Amino acid sequence: MRRSYTCLASLLLATSVLAGCESSSTPPASSPTPAVDGGSPTADPADPTPDEIAARGSCPAATGAGTKHEGTITADETWKAADGPHNVTFGLDIRATVTIEPCALVRIAKGVRIAVGSSTEAGSLVAHGTSQLIDGARDVRPVNFDALEPASWWGQIVVLAKGTLDLSIAALQNGGGETNNYRGALVVTGLAGGTNDGEPLRSTTLDRVLIEKSASYGLNLEGWGALTEASDKLWIRGSGSPELPSAIRIEPGIAGTLPKTIVATGNVKDEILMNTSKAFTRNDTLVNRGLPYRMKGALFLNGNKDSATPVKMIIEPGVTLAFEKDVGSGIYIGSSNTNQGILEAVGTAEAPIVFTSANATKAPGDWLSLHFKSTPKTGSRISHARIEYAGGESTTTGFGCGPSANDAAVLIHGTGTDESGPASVFIDHTTFENIGGTTVIVSGWIDAAGPNFTGDNTFGNVVPSCKVSKPRRSGAGDVCDGGRTTCW
């Protein structure tokens, strides 16, 4: 539901590529980045553009000494536009409810952060701008967070476990400086940092919010901190650094909470970075927001303990998932026959799903594989996809097309004493290109005749001569006797 007089119409998604521009070594001044309003029309003429939000719309210039804020806020208060600018000169901890009026300008000193709530105490920050038509002209009155001093990045707004944040028609400009190991202009934290478990925590609402010229990530969702269902539109532009280039950083497990529309332009990398220290995840959907996902390291698609209910990941049509070159990179689906995962990656002919390398210069074997660690559960399916530059070093041997390594784009294990395989073909209408290793698809179960994954798939350029291995035999010795003659 829309707030502040307006409603958001459907917007076309902007498309982006993994490579981006280089950032400067010092933050620019707060003048708006030239003209990108999301690249799509809105049905509501009162809806603001990011340029209008960046330039503070119809708000008068903030003059005078303003109001100083620092320390810990323990009683509810309202920051009025007339009392601005509101200057945060030292770390600010919000342990009550702070409401910020339209047209208020909040200026934050170099390296300073605003923390909303804590791990034990509640806190809330509510900043709603407005946008409406007056005599046919758009009157935009945003809330702006900006640097106190020119060329000095402030830190971030960080939402801690007991905090809530609600931003609408607002901008975070020239933030993202390093503070207390936080990275990003807006950092939302949850209860599951590091290798810890815990349910995703949906504490933050973003509705027509601009993040601009961050020195690091624009948005960083840590420890399964997440956004609410009401989060609607987010612009991120001109942000990132060579070390932290991505517009957005998340952990697998909360991608499905990203805003309905994201427009990222002019960042060092217009992408969503995923990385995690966890060897487990939650049910999730890699939503198509027009940006590629970059996975750093391995993604383990299983729960934190044995369960009769597998963890499920859905990948929407049109999504690109790129893997950094790393030992063990790829997706591991399930960890045992009692701790399973389901991968549902069903694209369309017009919008295939792409699994690829994140390297600037790509080569076969850049990343490992899609690795089904046990008999794939009913529901796993890969269709209308393209898998490329996989087949990296697997460090496993014994049941590929040999003579030894099992390096492949897809590895399918079996389960039980006889290691039974999948009941039917679950990979179809998929193209394999530029695959390293000795096999494209390894059938790793024992003694079953099928299924045969060669049908309805395309094996294109630069792939091993062995497209799909036959299942391995039981008994001692080389389980792939005959080498490549054991291929379909």
In this prediction, residue 6 has a pLDDT band, given cuts at 50, 70 and 90, of: very low
Per the DSSP assignment, residues forming a β-bridge with 322 are: 294, 356
* 94-107: pLDDT as tens digits: 999 999 999 999 99
Phi, psi of 397 (to 5 degrees): -140, 165
How many residues are there in the chain?
488
pLDDT of the residue at 299 = 96
Backbone angles phi, psi at 454, to 5 degrees: -75, -30
pLDDT of residue 413: 84
Question: What sign does the CA torsion over 482, 483, 485, 488 have?
Answer: positive
The mean pLDDT of 47-68, rounded to a whole number, is 94
Residue 289 has pLDDT above 90, yes or no: yes
Residue linked to tokens 């291995």: 469
Which residue, among 405, 390, 471, has the nearest Cα to 438 in the 3D structure? 405
- State the average pLDDT over residues 45-70: 94
| 224-238, 241-255, 406-420, 423-437: the lowest-pLDDT one | 406-420
Contact 210, 172 (CB under 8 A): yes
Higher local confidence (pLDDT), 87 or 17: 87
Q: Residue 438 — pLDDT band, cuts 50, 70, 90? A: confident
Give the pLDDT of residue 11.
33
pLDDT of amino acid 401: 62
Determine what percent of the chain is predicted with pLDDT higher than 90: 71
**What separation in angstroms does the CA of 293 have from each of 15, 231, 319, 344?**
12, 20, 8, 16
Which of 13 and 450 is assigned the larger pLDDT? Answer: 450
- Two tokens, residue 343: 């991968």
Could you tell me if 177 and 213 are in contact, meaning their C-beta atoms sit under 8 angstroms apart?
no
pLDDT value for 328? 78
365 pLDDT band, cuts 50/70/90, is: very high
Residue 43 pLDDT = 59
Q: Is 483's pLDDT higher than 80?
A: no
Q: Tens digits of per-residue pLDDT, 13-28?
A: 333 334 443 333 344 4
Report the chain's mean pLDDT, rounded to a whole number. 87
Sign of the CA dihedral 308, 311, 316, 322?
negative
* Higher per-residue pLDDT: 172 or 37: 172
Residue listed under structure tokens 């697997």: 394
Q: If you average pLDDT over residues 193-203, what whole number do you get?
A: 95
- The pLDDT score that the predictor gives to residue 363 is 95
| Residue of 114, 76, 122, 83 lying closest to 101 (CA atoms) | 83
Three state DSSP letters for the chain: CCCCCCCCCCCCCCCCCCCCCCCCCCCCCCCCCCCCCCCCCCCCCCCCCHHHHHCCCCCCCCCCCCEEEEEEECCCEEECHHHCCEEEEEEEEECCEEEECCCCEEEECCCCCEEECCCCCCEEEEEECEEEEECCEEEEECEEEEECCCCCCCCCEEECCCEEEEEEEEEEECCCCCECCECCCEEEECCCCCCCCCCCEEEEEEEEEEEECCCCCCEEEECCEEECCCCCEEEEECCCCCCCCEEEEECCCCHHHCCCEEEEECCCEEEEEEECCCCCCCCEEECCCCCCEEEECEEEECCCCCCCCCEEEEECCCCEEEECCCCCCEEEECCECCECEEEEEECCCCCCEEEEECCCCCCCCCCCEEEECCCCCCCCEEEEEEEECCCCCCCCECCCCCCCECCCCEEECCECCCCECCCCCCEEEEEEECCCCCEEEEECCECCCCCCCCCCCEECCCCCCEEEECCECCCCCCCCCCHHHHEC
pLDDT of residue 181: 84
Distance of CA 145 to the CA centre of its chain: 24
**Looking at the predicted structure, is the pLDDT value of residue 360 above 90?**
yes
Q: What is the pLDDT of residue 303?
A: 95
Which whole number is the average pLDDT over 268-283? 96
Higher pLDDT, 263 or 402: 263
pLDDT in tens, 137-168: 999 999 999 999 988 999 999 999 999 999 99
Phi, psi of 53 (to 5 degrees): -65, -45
Q: Does residue 216 register a pLDDT over 80?
A: yes
Who's near 231: CB < 8 A, 6+ residues apart? 204, 205, 206, 207, 257, 258, 259, 260
Confidence at residue 18, expressed as pLDDT on a 0 to 100 scale: 41
Identify the CA nearest to 458 among candidates 356, 388, 399, 381: 388
Between CA 276 and CA 262 the distance in angstroms is 22
Provide the pLDDT for residue 416: 62
Q: Which one, of 300, 164, 158, lies nearest residue 220 by Cα?
A: 158
For residue 430, pLDDT beyond 70: yes
